[in-house]
Amino acid sequence: MSENTTETTKNAKVEEAREHMRAAHENMHKVAAAWIPEGVRENQSMARKEFLLGLRSLLDAAIEHTEKK
């Protein structure tokens, strides 16, 4: 009887496609960054941080609530 293995073999073409997609993704970010003025990017970054801080507060409150039960 043959033994089942859980090893995954990497397909070279799939890996090559992933590399191309990553490169395309990085270049698309560069293009988008060039279109967006610096002030807008700074505001976007601050807004993202505030959103994440709010999310952190919600998670902290949920954790405290579950610990009190």
Q: What angle do CA 45, 48, 50 make, to 5 degrees?
A: 110
Q: Assess if residue 26 is contained within a domain.
A: yes
Q: Tokens representing 28?
A: 């698309």
Q: How large a percentage of the chain has pLDDT more than 70?
A: 87
Is residue 7, in this structure, part of any structural domain at all? Answer: no
Whether 56 is covered by a domain: the verdict is yes
Q: Report the distance separating Cα 37 and Cα 9, nearest Å.
A: 45
In a domain, 3, yes or no: no
Residue 66 pLDDT: 94
Is 32 inside a domain boundary? yes
**Is 41 a member of any domain?**
yes
% of the chain beyond a pLDDT of 90: 61
Domains in the chain: how many in total? 1
pLDDT at 8: 60
**Whole-prediction pTM:** 0.51
Domain carrying residue 32: 12-68
Average pLDDT over residues 10-29: 93
> Is 2 among the domain residues?
no
